Every structure is written in structure tokens, then in C-alpha cells.
Structure 1
Amino acid sequence: MAMQFYASPEQVQRDRSEYARKGIARGRSAVVLTYEGGILLVAENITTLRKISEIYDKIGFAAVGRYNEFESLRRAGIRMADVNGYSYDRRDVTGRFLANAYTQTLGAIFTETQKPYEVEICIAQVGASPETDELYRITYDGSVMDEPGFMAMGGQAEAISTVLRERHDGAADLPTALHLAAEALGSVGGENGQARTLDAKQLEVAVLDRRRKGRAFRRIQGAALTTLLEGEKDVPEKELGDVDAAPPPPATDKPTVSAASEEEPNSPESADPAEPADGVNGDGS
């Protein structure tokens, strides 16, 4: 008679944790940090697939790990935020609300399914002042941490966090914060432990700008990103990018007269209604 294999619950949890950590470590890292104008989200990314996204008006999303898994979480978060904002009030959609939802979802997946999600995500909400900014880090097992001003995700997050911890300044301007984020991401992964220099083509960058009304999220890419990485501070505000899917532009003025009513001048319908069309009495007599 074959013996049934048995593993203690503690061993099962350890195996799942190790599996998820190894999967996350294979991907590139991301950092999120505050600066004087809002929250900066930077990910090392050489593909067209997005690691950083907008969730709601003042809320951003960043993730590392397996793309198909955190993409499904991102889409679910957007749907949840839209439904709650429409059903109640837009102010009821907060970063804490979404972080709690992601915590429950990832916790249930980790404990109840055979394979855990290989993801780490960050929910960032920009406030009216630096003191009210919120950064939530949610790990593969549903654990959530409220990070104080900066955080790093990925396989070498500890080394990256060390660079951020030593030099992060919440009062820094955008070019300074971006340069720090790029330097922190480039401090790991080089040959023989050497630091790397990351350029605009290797970075995905977005900000939550507290000075913007309505939707605070916008991407920074192209020439504007190159300029900021070089330390320039005179990039025009309008060139720093926009949201992923901006609302449609205002509709053009619609014609007040239907095209069907523009008849030919010689047609009977176009005759002056003040003069009878039959040329007699106008009553058919």
C-alpha cells in the first residue's frame, strides 16, 4: 500500500514563499518615492508592457514580477475604483481602500490556491501636502506595509532601498528625485557588482502631481525624460506628458439645421410659406 505524502502547513507556506520570491527576483526592480511636487514612480523597463499605471484620480499603481498576474490585479483595481466612485463619491476611492482590497485578494490566493502570485505591488496616493502622501506596499502573500516616503520592489530591493534611505529628500525637485531613482536602480545588476547608468530607453517614469486638479497621473517619456535625466530644470510643464487615456476633447459645434432641410431653391418645398404655392387662394380653391 502506497504511503500518502504529507507536508506540514508551515512547510507548505515556506515553499510557496520561496517560490514567489524567486519569481519576483527574476524581474527588474521599481522604486516609488516622494518629492516636493508629488510622488515619482520609476521602473526599469525595456519593453512596451507597462509596470506603472493610473488607477484613479490621485492614485497610481506600480508592480514587479509576473506581468500577466499583476496586470489582472491592475485591471481589477481600476474596475473596483470606477464602480465605487460612480456608486458613491469619488472621494470614497482612496489608496487605503484599494490596498485593503489587494491585501485580501493576494492573501486568499496565497493560502487557498496551489500557486501563489509572483508579484509585488505599490499603491500610491498623492495628497494636498507631502505629509498626506501615502505609499502602500503589498507583497505576494497579502502583507501590506505603509512605507515612509520611499520604497523599492524586486529581487534586489534591499540594496536599492539602502541608496534611497541615505539620500532621499522629500523636498527635492523632480530632476533631483528622478536622478536618485535612476541611480538607485542602476546600483545593482552590473557586471562584477559595478553600477550601471540607465538612460531614458531603459526607464518607465510617471508622476502623481499634487498641483494638478482632477487626474494627477501623467507619464514622462521621450525628450522630456532625457532632459530631466540630464539635470535640466527648464522643461515646460506641457511637455511632461499626460494621462494614459485622456478624456475626449470637447465636441465641435453641431449644426443647428439639418442637411435634409436644405432643399434646392426651385423645389416646391423651398417656396416662401407666406405665398401660396398654387398661386390662387392658398386653400386649394
Structure 2
Amino acid sequence: MTMPFYVSPEQLMKDRADFARKGIARGRSVAVVRYADGVLFVSENPSAALHKISEIYDRIAFAAVGRYNEFENLRIAGVRLADMRGYSYDRRDVTGRGLANAYAQTLGTIFSSGGEKPYEIEIFVAEVGDTADDDQIFRLTFDGQVVEEHDYAVMGGAAEAVTTYLKERYAPGLARDEALALAAAALGQSETGHRDVPARDLEVAVLDRTRSQERKFKRIAPPVLVGILGDKGESAKAEETSSDPVTPPAAPAGNDDEPPIAP
């Protein structure tokens, strides 16, 4: 009878954490930035159908990086929980802190369980208040830890480079368009240098406290983004596409039976 290999609990947790971190790092970054009238979410996401930023309830939004199917399941569960709590009690009883705690319990249970792999995701849950001092941003890691963020935060991809860029340039009380331009420029940072992210490849949404509706969540459409940010990234992409292709070398003499290489 073969004996099973023994792995210490510390090593097991370390291996699971390393596995989750590697999966999260492969995704594109998401940045959340507080501005004068609310909270701004920005992510590089060319897909128009698979959203990384979504509304959960009246004043609460959700953003995630990592495996889409995993964070989408959590998003749906959060919407159902918020709807049930708001219907059973009062809409004011649905809070970002309550949802963050519920997500933390779920992620912590999955991470510590030996029966399934840990979720390869990180999550932001943000709630906009009546004043800037009432705004709350919670970051949830794959192992269920909850951290309250202030002013700005980044997760996924080249998070360290993006955070450094924001730290050097962020100032409280930015207007929405200023915060958007700062976040878009930050998402172009990486360990290898800077690039301009095309405005149409960005997914952007805000929790705007100045909206007259009960629901404060609003997506910013690509044409509006182009108007705010310009099309630097798109111009560079078009320039690269329109450049003359490299002419292939001619076929060597004596190979008349073989057609020349098509460009």
C-alpha cells in the first residue's frame, strides 16, 4: 500500500496563493480612483459584451480581474443578495460593507477548502455616499482578505507600475475628466515602459453622487471617451498598420519552377 505524500498546511496555502496570484497577474489591470463627485472605475477591456465593471445596487458597483466565469458568478450572487436584502428590509440596509463581508466569506471558504482550486480573482466593491467623506472602496483578495482603500487602488496585470504612476500624480478633488485621463495614462504603464491605450479599448464607469436618479452607476460610452482622451492609441495603431510592409527577398536564381513568395 502506497503512502500519500505529506504536505504541510503552510506549504499548501503558499502553493494555492501562488497559483491564484499568477492567474490574476495575467489579466489586464483595473484602476479605481476617487474624484470630486464620486468614484471612477477604468479598465482596459476591448470586449463590449464581457464587462469587468458592473452595477450591484443603487450606490454600489463591482469591478474584478481574473477568470471571467468566477467573478461573474460572484457578481450575480451579489446582485441577488442585495435585491433580497433591499426587498426584505429597506434599500438603505444594502451597503458596500455588507456585500464586501459576504464576498470575503465566500472567497475565504473556497481558498481554505482542499476540495477545489482557489478563485483566480480580485474584486473591488465601492459605494458612493452623500459626501466624499462617505465614499467607501473595498478590495477583496483571492483568499478572502478585505482592505479598505483610499483615493485610488489598482489590481491585476502590472498593478505595481500603475500604482506607482498614480501615487506620483494623484491629487484629491480631481474633476471626472481629469481623473479619467490620469487613470487611462496609468493603465499604459508597465515594467517594460509606457504605451497609449486606445480610448475605445477602455471600459469606464462612475458612481456619480450628483445624479438625480436613485441609481448612481453610469457607464461612459466609447465616443465620449474619445472626446475626452483623444485617439492617441488609435492613431499609433493606424500608423503601424499603414506602414509599408517589408519586401520579401527574391527567389534565388535557378528556381523558376517555384513561385515567388507573396508579400
TM range (shorter): 0.7 to 0.9
Q: Is the CA contact (8 Å cut-off) linking 2:86 and 2:92 kept in structure 1?
A: yes
Matches within 5 A, 1:246-265: none
Shift in Å at residue 194 of structure 1? 2.2
Q: Give the structure 2 partner of residue 50 of structure 1.
A: 51
Separation in structure 2 between the aligned mates of residue 157 and residue 68 of structure 1, nearest angstrom: 22
Task: Identify the residue that residue 205 of structure 2 maps to in structure 1.
Answer: 206
Post-superposition CA distance 1:219-239 (Å, at most 9, x none): 0012211112139xxxxxxxx
Matched residue SS, 1:122: strand
Q: Counterparts of 2:37 and 2:124 in 1: how far apart (Å)?
A: 19
2:166·2:182 contact (CA, 8 Å) conserved in 1? yes
User: 2:221 matched to which residue of 1?
Assistant: 221
1:110 alignment partner in structure 2: 111
TM-score normalised per structure 2:
0.84
How far is the alpha carbon of 1:65 from its aligned partner? Answer: 0.3
CA deviation after TM superposition for structure 1 residue 170, in Å: 2.6
Aligned equivalents of 1:120 and 1:163: distance in 2? Answer: 21
Could you tell me which residue of structure 2 aligns to residue 73 of structure 1? 74
Aligned residue type for 1:179? A
In 1, the alpha carbon distance for the partners of 2:172 and 2:228 equals 18
Name the structure 1 match of 2:98: 97
Give the structure with higher Rg (CA): 1
Is the 2:38–2:208 Cα contact (8 Å) retained in structure 1?
A: yes
Give distance in 1, aligned partners of 2:85 and 2:205. 25
Q: Is the 8 A contact 2:158 2:189 kept in 1?
A: no
Shift of 1:45: 0.5
Instruction: Give SS of 1:208's match.
Output: strand
Q: What value does the CA root-mean-square deviation take over the aligned residues?
A: 1.3
8 A Cα contact 2:200 2:225, kept in partner: no
Which of 118, 123, 126 is the aligned partner of 1:124?
126
Mapped contact 1:21–1:155 kept (Cα < 8 A): no
TM-score by length of 1: 0.78
Match of 2:252 in 1: none
Matches of 1:114 and 1:11, distance apart in 2: 17
Q: Which residue of 154, 167, 170 maps to 1:168?
A: 170
Alignment check: 8 A CA contact 2:31 2:43 kept = yes
Distance 1:11 1:42 in 2: 36
- Write the mapping of 1:59-70 to structure 2, written as runs, cut at 5 A: 59-70=60-71
Structure 1 runs not aligned, ≥5 long: 232-285
* Whole-angstrom CA distance in 1 between matches of 2:138 and 2:181: 23
Number of residue pairs the alignment of both structures matches: 228
Shift of 1:169: 2.0
Structure 1 stretch displaced more, 199-208 or 76-85: 199-208
**Displacement of 1:109:** 0.4
Q: For 2:155 and 2:4, how far apart are their aligned partners in 1?
A: 39
Moved over 6 A (4+): none
Q: CA deviation at 1:4?
A: 1.7
CA contact (8 A) 2:199 2:230 kept: no
- 2:15 is matched with which residue? 15
**Partners of 2:70 and 2:151 in 1: how far apart?**
26
Greater Cα offset, 180-189 or 145-154:
180-189
Q: Distance in 2 between matches of 1:200 and 1:230?
A: 7
Letter in 1 for 2:55: E
CA distance in 2 between counterparts of 1:98 and 1:143 reads: 13
Task: State the alpha-carbon separation in 2 of the partners of residues 23 and 165 from structure 1.
Answer: 25
> Contact (CA 8 Å) 1:205, 1:220: kept in 2 or not?
yes
* Letter aligned with residue 219 of structure 2: R
In structure 2, the residue corresponding to 1:33 is in which secondary structure?
A: strand
Deviation at residue 216 of structure 1 after TM alignment:
0.2
CA distance in 2, matches of 1:37, 1:149: 13
Could you tell me how far apart the structure 1 residues matched to 2:203 and 2:109 are?
A: 30
- Corresponding position of 2:85: 84
Residue equivalent to 2:251: none
User: CA contact under 8 A between 1:126 and 1:134: conserved in structure 2?
Assistant: yes
Write the distance in 1 (CA, Å) between the matches of 2:171 and 2:134.
16
Structure 1 residue matching 2:194: 3-state secondary structure? coil
The aligned amino acid for 2:128 is V
Is the contact between residue 200 and residue 221 of structure 1 (CA under 8 Å) also seen in structure 2? no
Question: Do residues 182 (structure 1) and 181 (structure 2) align?
Answer: no
Equivalent position amino acid for 2:76 in 1: R
